[in-house]
Amino acid sequence: MSLFTKKPMHLLLEEAGDSGKGLKRTLSAGALVALGIGAIIGAGLFVRTAAAAAQNAGPSVTIGFIIAAIGCALAGLCYAELSSSIPISGSAYTYTYATMGELMAWIIGWDLVLEYAVGAATVGIAWSEYLNKLLVEVLHVAPVPYEWCHSPFQTSVDGVSGIMNLPALFIVGLLSLLLIKGTSESAFVNGIIVITKVSIVILIIIFGWGFINEANHHPYIPEATVYKDHAGISHSYGGIMGILGAAGTVFFAFIGFDAVSTAAQETKNPKTAMPIGILGSLAVCTVLYILFAHVLTGIAPIEFFRTKGGEASVVAAISEYMTGYGWLSKLVTVAILAGFSSVILVMLLGQSRVFYSMSRDGLLPKMFSDLHPKFQTPHKANLFILILVGLFAAFVPGDVVGDMTSIGTLFAFMLVCVAVIILRKTNPELPRQFKTPWVPLVPILGVLVCGAMIFGLGWTNWLRLFGWLALGFIIYFGYSVKNSVLRNTGKTVFPQDPPKPEL
């Protein structure tokens, strides 16, 4: 069989039926907007905003948020069509298998590891930063020593070198073990987390607005130069390239919006509700993000975020420049730690489900789809992911893994956009509860905008992506080609029922 053999559409639809997804259509457009806001606002906003301002765009990081939101909106409309046409687990991996064949499906599945596993490591590192703030500012005890909460590639301003990030490794390990046992997050608890996250953003905007120093916003778009960070890595700062680089960096703050598209089968009127849910949640979050970035870069100068404000940047800026609001920094610290823990849990869950789908197709070893005899969770996949994510969290700097997550997800979005165009040509008769408007214009624009953000992330991140894909090709041609269920039998095989416990 060809490396570009596609999963037959009728088998995919049979899989949807076999997996027992007789989902009730209960979600309204308003519910989808709320779902999207809850999924979008997370670690990216509280961590990547300051990094993008310091390394790429200065105050014009707000323009970067707009570009990132446009790219997400275009890709989101494509996600919505595919999720309503092929309602199966595996997300972009499954869509690509059906439209572009096995090799491209492997590439996107391997690429999704960057979104979920490396993304979880990024948030774990951010959790470590805010843990130290909790220890110092809330509990008034000594922080974790620098060398034990930083990677070996990081050095403090005092010349202390990191050894490994123990708090990040701890939270990843704890949540991985929790997933093996199985957990269920109630709608009530999830609602509390969503309300807390949005409230924190709004409080910072309201109270921080009065502390904006207009001098920190001039020039709004800095002159194009090159900024070299403490690790010796060069970044395009200012100008068009700086803004594109910032867009690629803060793109991490939008990851999770595709959760809206996965609810297409549970939406009352997907043809109208899906675009409202996707575009509405992105619009609300983008407005909040722009205001948040405007306040944050106005409170403190860019140089602050390049030095002592580089870690736990939001709390650091509040503590340093917002006199009398110590209570807000403490509240933000506790709320962010809780929110980060939830985000890590969901990312680890998502990664195990991607591995599960690839294992059922024979592209990864069968152990990744083996279920625990008692808990009915893919425990072997979770243990492997614990090792993978733990290594990234303990030994790689946060900026590096954050940009790897962004570039991997952007690449996945580009393939999803292409998949819509292909599926319209190859399967025009396929029932679609939602159709992307103005095809092929919207998908092509999605590819171009996401591609521009990848371009803005710079050659060091391109090399990391190519290196990651090269490692994936070694695994594919060394193992997956020989064990592919579709290539060997011409059909899909399901070794067991899908894992039962869900968040």
Peptide bond into 440 cis (omega under 30): yes
Q: Residue 136 gets which letter from DSSP?
A: I
For residue 114, what pLDDT is reported? 82
Taking only the tens place, the pLDDT of each residue in 205-254 is: 999 999 999 999 999 999 999 998 876 778 899 999 999 999 999 998 88
Inter-residue contact 72 to 323 (CB < 8 Å): no
CB of 392 within 8 A of CB of 126?
Answer: no
How far does CA 498 lie from the centroid of its chain? Answer: 24
Bridge partners, 383 (sequence order): none
Q: What is the C-alpha separation between 163 and 386, in angstroms, rounded? A: 19
CA pair distance 50, 446, nearest whole angstrom: 26
Q: How do residues 161-184 score in pLDDT, each as one tens digit?
A: 999 999 999 999 998 888 887 655
Under 8 Å between Cβ of 98 and 16: no
| pLDDT score recorded for residue 116 | 84
H or E stretch covering 87: none
Q: Are 182 and 501 in contact (CB under 8 A)?
A: yes
Cα separation of 210 and 295, whole Å? 9
Q: Minimal CA–CA distance to 73: which of 194, 251, 201?
A: 251
Return phi, psi of residue 6, to 5°.
Answer: -100, 150
Which pLDDT score is estimated for 483? 92
CA distance 238 to 476: 40
Low-confidence ranges of the chain (pLDDT < 70): 1, 11-25, 43, 87-91, 182-191, 231, 259, 262-266, 490-503
φ and ψ at 125, to 5 degrees?
Answer: -65, -40
Round to whole Å and give the CA distance between 360 and 374: 20
* Matching CATH number, 29-489, of 1.10.10.10, 3.20.20.30, 3.40.50.800, 1.20.1740.10: 1.20.1740.10
Instruction: Compute the half-sphere exposure of residue 121: CA atoms within 13 Å on the CB side of its CA.
Output: 30
Q: Residue 14: its pLDDT value, please?
A: 67
The dihedral over CA atoms of 317, 323, 326, 331, expressed in degrees to the nearest 10, equals: -60
* DSSP structure class, residue 236: E
Nearest Cα neighbor of 408 from 344, 469, 355 is 469
* Residue (of 405, 404, 358) closest to 381 by Cα position: 358
Q: CA-based angle 410:416:417, to the nearest 5?
A: 90
DSSP letter (8 states) at residue 253: G
